[in-house]
Amino acid sequence: MPLFSPHDQYVRVKQHCGELLSEVRKERPLVHHITNTVTINDCANITLAAGAAPVMAGAAEEAVEMAGIASSLVLNIGTLWPGQVDVMIIAGKAANERGIPVILDPVGVGATTLRTESALRILRECNVTILKGNEGEIGVLAGSGGTVRGVDSYGCSGDPVDVARRCAEVTGTVVAMTGEIDVVTGDGEVYLIRNGHPMMDRLSGTGCMAASLVGAFAAVASSPSKAAVAALAAFGRAGEIAAPGAAGPYSFRTGLFDALYSLSPEDLRDGTQVEIRRGI
């Protein structure tokens, strides 16, 4: 029996988003990335813009050591090279031993066998805390069907909330599924986040950047799902602030990073558009 009314809970989640942003800036957690070469610069800079500290290190020889000083680990399979999945698993296991959150962004899962098998192998061999994907990718990993062409989602089969729930069940992770409405589920509640702007789809790598932010927030949070909610709300809120002043994708990018950098905890608290549903 819930101690709080839905409205109370809603207010508490929004409040918590603002608190987590303050916490990221105060603690400045080190977010270790093993990631693709397309969006690696934007991922480093978005982590910085949130107030955390990025390190991008993919060498096998330093995977354990770097995971040993990091506060979270972000794995992104966007441009796999020989042996990269092995390094991800070494780092993932080291992160698991230290109890720091592991975020997986299964970029392009479903588009090629290599990507699907790589994501499944990582999920099998490490404990992934939060799985951040688009609707197509989460649909594929839920086993219920999703369409991914290249690295773009063409949607999942069925109701997105059901698909996210099923993926959370199947993979044993918290699922953070991005789309027109973001869905976070897996450790109790289901959260629907309505922040964001369509311009975010016109810029390469916003999905990767979202995963970096989930890594930054998860590093300072006790609840992975609430960290994901706060990260996606903050990113979406920055997009909402940036869009009106943008003349196209690159001025939007400039505005997006600047807005996240300047986002106040109060603005995030007030601007978070979240709906809470009974969980799995």
Report the residue number, 108 or 224, with the smaller CB distance to a second copy: 108
DSSP, res 248: S
Contact between 108 and a second copy by CB under 8 A: the answer reads yes
Contact between 54 and a second copy by CB under 8 A: the answer reads yes
CA distance 247 to 82: 40
Residue from the set 166, 234, 257, 274 that interacts with a second copy by CB under 8 A: 257
Other Cβ atoms within 10 Å of 159 Cβ, number = 11
Contact between 86 and a second copy by CB under 8 A: the answer reads no
Q: Could you give the dihedral angle defined by the CA atoms of residues 46, 122, 160 and 9, in that order, rounded to the nearest 10 degrees?
A: -60
CA distance 58 to 85: 10
Question: Site mask, a second copy, residues 15-34, x = CB under 8 A?
Answer: ---------------x-x--
- Contact positions with a second copy (CB under 8 A) in 158-197: none
Locate tokens 């979240």: which residue?
274
The response to whether 205 counts as a known ligand-binding position is: yes
Which one, of 66, 41, 58, lies nearest residue 212 by Cα? 41
CA distance 174 to 144: 17
Reading the block at residue 207, the tokens are 């999905």
Contact between 81 and a second copy by CB under 8 A: the answer reads yes
The response to whether 139 counts as a known ligand-binding position is: no
Residue from the set 13, 24, 58, 191 that interacts with a second copy by CB under 8 A: 58
Point out which span in 13-21, 93-101, 107-115, 268-276 binds a second copy (CB under 8 A): 107-115
Report the residue number, 190 or 246, with the smaller CB distance to a second copy: 246
35-73 burial by CB neighbour count: b if 16+ within 10 A, else e? bbebbbebbbbbbbbbbbbbebbbeeeebbebbeebbbb
Where is the binding site for ATP, in residues? 132, 178
- Footprint of a second copy (CB under 8 A): 30, 32, 36-42, 44-45, 48-49, 53-62, 65-66, 69-70, 78-83, 108, 111-115, 149-152, 202-205, 246-251, 253-262
